[in-house]
Structure 1
Amino acid sequence: MGRFSLAPKPAAKPEPDVPPVAAAAPAPAPAPESVATPVAAAPEPAPKPKSAAQAAPPQGGALDMRLRLHARLIDELDLAKLDKLSESELRREVMKLTADFARAERMALNTTDLQELGASIYDEMVGLGPIEPLLKDDSINDILINGPFQVYVERRGELELTPVHFRDNDHLLRIVNRIVAGVGRRIDESQPMVDARLPDGSRVNAAINPIAIDGAAVSIRKFSKKPLTLEKLVEVGAMPQAVADFLYGAVRARVSTVISGGTGSGKTTLLNALSAAISEGERLITIEDAAELQLQQPHVVRMETRPPNIEGKGEIRQRELVKNALRMRPDRVILGEVRAEEAFDMLQAMNTGHEGSMATIHANNPREAIGRLEQMIAMGGMNISPDAMRQGIASAIGLIVQAMRLPDGKRKLTHVTEIVGMEGNVVQMQDIFTFNRTHTAPDGTVHGEFRATGLRPRCLDEMTRRGLPYDTANFDPSKVLLSC
């Protein structure tokens, strides 16, 4: 890369009254020719640094070098002893062999470059290769791999292309197989899609050929090392303090809650934050496709679905896990995401002594969330009338909390909606809090305000009966207003 940074210098034109070659050549006749020749040739190297794409060849060369070194280390290391080495011992061994390789290849590397090369080789051996630095970057929320040569990341709600790439699709597939094998799953042509997770809890979805035409497609939702609390969500403007206090009291009072929102809207983050209100004396059972919830209570049983084996047998779906969880004496059942017929079993749990259970669902607003639940119950093949389904929903769920990712990348709560019962064959709902967008600034920032509707939530009486520290007597939701 260093040699590219010097390329523009020959392109700089000399001042017309100071001919640089004339001073070096005393003969007057040849001077014009010697000056004319370099001036005409100088612009040719200038276009080299025009675009970032021209930096790819050096990076590709560095990647090839790392892969060659990786292959050599595999040959020279005693693989049988690797499992017996600690992480620090293995790093030292890799650094020693990397230094030997650099000397043998006559590579001009300083100490920092050598350490970076050794670290990248270590990542290639035991980590996730080129994307390992992205996983360690706390400012990145998502890593999106579109084939071996295109890796995007999301920072602060904005997507950006990185210079990271893999050598080829086989290189990328090795990393994908390393991920899925770590959680006992598989991906191949017969099963080209998989949900998995990394050891730190980050969620991974991968698709390969023949589903993904241009190479393996991998999406990684990174696991937050420090789960966001309600206080932090208030600090970043996702909700005002009054809304956070109300939701904390509702969860504490065992109001069954469904968190609705689109992909990447912060549903799981909000569920983690609200779970802090659950008493440490309760037994919680979580059910997920890929475990990613970060509950802080001491008594948590985590359950995860299982895909079918190579013979198409052995699949365990969320519905079976929900049924089994009800036999395990839970105080609350928490579903990472309701997707299909398990919705019926979730409602049954909420209606049979497991108040305060929680779940997330994909929907654009609270009313659509009700419709989605009806569709999911119908997917189970139950012979239940629409009126009975809606009655079950109205009696099981107390609150629907809607989350949204705004165009500027920020996540906000847009509705806190209470289900109050049935009127005819329609589920009756009332908004307690809403977020109203007022305008968008020239820089794309969305501005708006949280406002209470003025309706008194029915669950406030239950909070009072449970003796929660919430000023229900003087609660006036019409006074809640926060511009942001």
Structure 2
Amino acid sequence: MPAPDRFAEGATPFLIAGGAGEASGTIDARFREAKAAIFSRLIELLDPSELLRLDVEQGRALLARLISEVITGDRMQVSASEERALLDDIADDMLGYGPLERLLTDPEISEIMVNGRRPIYVERDGLLARSAVQFEDDEQLLNVCQRIVNLVGRRVDEASPICDARLQDGSRVNVVLPPIALDGPVLTIRRFRRERITLDEMKARGALPAAGADLLRVIAAARFNVMVVGGTGSGKTTLLNMLGAQVSGSERIVTCEDTAELQLEQPHVVRMETRPPNIEGQGEITMRDLVRNALRMRPDRIIVGEVRGPEAFDLMQAMNTGHNGSMGTLHANSPEEAVTRMTSLITMGYPSLQPDVIRAMFASAVDILVQVERLRDGARKVTRITEVEVGEDGGIRLRPILRFETAADDPRAAAKPGGRYRLVNPPTQDFAARARYFGEGARLARLLADLSGAGAPPPHGDRPA
């Protein structure tokens, strides 16, 4: 333990904004100098191979002992609280990801945004806030970025300044370096939840009604082909995880992702991840490669983490060739926009296909569109569940089943969005027949009875795309 008499008479301790128990923010020059001096001495005293063999707690204990020895031996003027702060910072740098460590251990933070050496922004409960944490300089931030991407065998440098990677806990990472990033390295982390959110938890949070959760269970169990649509950060992958959790353990599931995020616990899951090209520009494995290869792996279902390119065509082919129950996510702000976006993505890879042909393929391949949104108060909700039909003209007909309608005339809406779920149309006869075939008929009847009490279907709910 540090001794209180380390201060020379009349000496002024350096200041650490935030204190020992909080995330330190602006660090004064004396703290940086002391940290740099101790860090240099540790490099001399430490055997890196020894540190690598230790777990985090053992490594921290070793660093605490060595830091105390350095402070005592060099007669540094450091108080007990300041020694703890130095240990925190140095341990974070040597054993983890520097200032990010204290944010990565906060369970309430869902996203971390680092913009150079400026204070770091975080997202809590869907809302952005400025934290009291920041990197000392661009070099420290760059070292952390390199450490992260090296863990997954990727690289980021001036020649290749943009990189996607993930942390060991599965959190998704994006790195952008200068000269692309004009004000220093930019690091964005989307946190990975160790505990999977279930449909029951979403129901408890008000993200969908109990009958809506049961409707999603029917959709997954009856092997409908599903696309989850929504904007960035709306919760698409979270909902895809919940739908995937409803799949029977007897099925073989093949997942294709850019960055592995899905947490499926069934016994027969095959996970695949894309790979960027190497430094010679060779060896790239695209999402399209994965989806095509998945078709040769005898899957019962194919789940694509995010459809963002020509692989949309291959996924629709899979949905149309016996791989019922396949799923994916798509960036789109409405069911109608989802149709347009899928059409444009397929046109990117198959420019000779006419839009009408693509739309007809979509109508025969995709059964259900589930829309998720992040509302202005940060809450994430399932706002629409829509059935996709083939219209009389062979085109697409979107039939909304369940919809979250905002209460614009609610006086509370100014502070927090109000609204209610309403049954717009009962599912089609084909939907009901399929649910009965998979043993979900009774559940479907119960949930429709519950939803009918909340709002009767209008006489003209069908809506052409």
Q: TM-score range by the shorter chain?
A: 0.7 to 0.9
CA distance in 2, matches of 1:59, 1:256: 57
1:303 deviates by 0.7
| Mean Cα deviation higher: 155-164 or 76-85 | 76-85
How much does 1:243 deviate? 0.5
Match of 2:126 among 150, 154, 157: 157
Q: Could you say which residue in structure 1 is the equivalent of 2:421?
A: 450
Q: Which residue of 1 aligns with 2:452?
A: 478
1:311 to 280, 295, 299: 280
1:64/1:167 contact within 8 Å kept: no
Once residues 57 and 205 of structure 1 are traced to their aligned partners in structure 2, the CA distance between those partners, rounded to angstroms, is 25
2:306 match: secondary structure: coil
Quick one: structure 1 residues 272 and 61, their matched pair in 2 at CA, closer, same or farther if it must change by over 3 Å? farther
- Distance in 2 between the 1:142 and 1:399 partners? 29
Counterparts of residues 40-439 of structure 1 (less than 5 Å): 58-59=27-28, 61-103=30-72, 104-110=74-80, 114-424=83-393, 426-439=395-408
How far off is 1:150 after superposition? 2.5
Change (3 A) 1:462 1:207: same
Deviation string, structure 1 residues 279-327 (Cα, Å, up to 9, x no partner) = 0111111111111111121221111111111111111100001111111
Other-structure match for 1:461: 433
| The structure with more radius of gyration | 1
Identical residues among aligned pairs (%)? 43
Q: Please report how far the alpha carbon of residue 74 of structure 1 lies from its aligned counterpart in structure 2 after TM superposition.
A: 2.1
Deviates most, 310-319 or 172-181: 310-319
TM-score (normalised: structure 1) = 0.84
Aligned equivalents of 1:442 and 1:61: distance in 2?
A: 50
Higher relative contact order (CA 8 A, sep 6+): 2
Shift of 1:170: 1.1
4+ aligned runs moved over 6 Å, structure 1: none
Change (3 A) 1:334 1:267: same
Once residues 400 and 362 of structure 1 are traced to their aligned partners in structure 2, the CA distance between those partners, rounded to angstroms, is 12
Which runs of 5 or more residues in structure 1 are unaligned?
A: 1-48, 50-54
How far apart are the structure 2 equivalents of 1:411 and 1:57? 34
Q: Secondary structure at the match of 2:117?
A: coil
Structure 1 residue 171: Cα displacement: 1.0
Structure 1 residues 58 and 148: CA distance shift in structure 2, 3 A:
closer
Task: Please say if residues 215 and 444 of structure 2, whose CA atoms lie closer than 8 Å, have aligned partners that are also in contact.
Answer: no
- Which residue type is aligned with residue 412 of structure 2? A
SS of the counterpart of 1:214?
A: coil
Aligned to 1:22: none
Deviation at 1:407, TM superposition (A): 0.7
Look up the SS of the partner of 1:336 in the other structure: strand
Distance 1:63 1:141, change over 3 A: farther
Letter in 2 for 1:323: R
Report the Cα offset of residue 106 of structure 1: 2.8
Tell me if structure 2 keeps the 8 A contact 1:70–1:124.
no
- Pair 459,102 (structure 1): closer, same or farther in 2 beyond 3 Å: farther
Contact 1:206 1:217 in 2 (8 A): yes
Rounded Cα–Cα distance in structure 2 between residues aligned with 1:443 and 1:137: 30
SS of equivalent residue, structure 1 residue 179: helix
- d(CA) in 1 for partners of 2:168 and 2:29? 29
Cα shift at 1:182: 0.4
Contact 2:387 2:427 in 1 (8 A): no
Q: Deviations over 1:450-472 (max 9, x none)?
A: 11113334422211111126344
Report the number of matched residues: 428
Letter in 1 for 2:51: L
RMSD (Å) for aligned C-alpha atoms = 2.1
